Copies of this chain bind each other. A is one copy, B any other.
Amino acid sequence: MDGPAPESYETLRRSIASQRNDLSKRLRLIADYALLDPSAFALRAVAGLAAEIGVAPSAIIRFAQHFGYSGFSEMQNVFRQRLEAAAPSYRDRVHNLEQHGGADATDDMMRRFIDAGIASLKDLQLTISPDKIDEAAGFIADARTVHVLAQKRTFPAAAYLAYNLARLEMPAHLFDGIGGMLEQQSNLMGPDDVVVAISFLPGAQTTADVFSLALDKGARTVAIVDVPRAPYVHADVVFEVVEASVENFRSLTATISLALVLAIRAGTFSAHKSNPQDERQ
């Protein structure tokens, strides 16, 4: 029973289920197993599956061909789709935006950047845990001073965080390193302070140096990174943010939004602290 081979997992699954009763004995064994444990079909090899199910390897190829595929490998790709969907891969979520890179009309580019920004925001919602935000916001609310630390492409996000903290009357200090004052500025950090660092690859060395210093001095530390790496992995709270990129320009929307939420949550906690009779609403 041929016809075009199903291209999506759901279609394939329906097809297997509906034909099951018409299959030969061996093929039916295989069908049942495919419905029962699709992950095995996605990840294991023909020989292994055959042994598990108790059929000959060739039976598995016949099974795939029965549903219109050229062989097992082709069918396996459909099973793998399902796994990729379950653990969404960066390539799927974000990289695709870079695919048709040739078009360079302005409106097309704008559309792609906007899509990239939206993808980043949605990903932020899926991957960032509110508990972590609360933890970091708690540190910030209790801090004597909040030092915000970033260079180059992430600097705008740091400026935004510092601005909003200041607006909420929290003692924020933006490390700008202007005039080679970085070392003096570093000396301001103490154990009652919180240091928030934002660093995306390829990170600036000075950001890493100052952050390491903060760790040594026993300050509370919060890191926002794209890829976890030393010294940021040693922070008290580490946020991993995936920003979509188009033609090697990375968006900042997710990072900016995270900074804003952090500031506001910290502001809330801080207000509760100074007015203890306030209740959460």
A interface list, Cβ under 8 A from B: 13-14, 17-18, 20-21, 32, 35-40, 42-43, 80, 82-92, 95, 97, 102-107, 109-111, 113-114, 117-118, 121-122, 124-126, 128, 130, 133-134, 137, 152-153, 155-157, 159-160, 163-164, 178, 201, 226-230, 233, 242, 247, 249, 251-253, 256-257, 260-261, 264-265, 268, 280-281
Contact = CB atoms under 8 A, between A and B. Distances in A.
Contacts of A114: 121-122, 124-125, 257
Given A86-B86, A104-B280, A110-B130, 5 more contacts: A21-B230, A39-B83, A109-B265, A113-B261, A156-B256
Interface of A: prevailing SS = helix
A50 to B, nearest CB: 15
Nearest to A20: B229
A110 B133 contact: yes
A90 B80 contact: no
Given A86-B83, A160-B252, A125 B110 contact: yes
A123 to B, nearest CB: 10
Contacts of A111: 125
Contact of A18 (B20, B88, B90, B230): B230
Nearest to A131: B106
Contact of A39 (B89, B128, B133, B281): B89
Nearest to A263: B249
Contact of A257 (B38, B113, B178, B233): B113
Contacts of A159: 155-156, 159
Contacts of A163: 152-153, 155-156
Given A17-B227, A20-B229, A156-B157, A264 B251 contact: no
A109 B264 contact: yes
A117 B257 contact: yes
Contacts of A104: 130, 268, 280
Contact of A83 (B83, B178, B201, B265): B83
A86 B94 CA distance: 10
Contacts of A90: 36-37, 39, 85-87
- 10 smallest CB-CB distances across A and B, nearest first, come from A39-B89, A86-B90, A156-B156, A86-B87, A17-B228, A106-B130, A107-B130, A156-B160, A37-B90, A253-B253
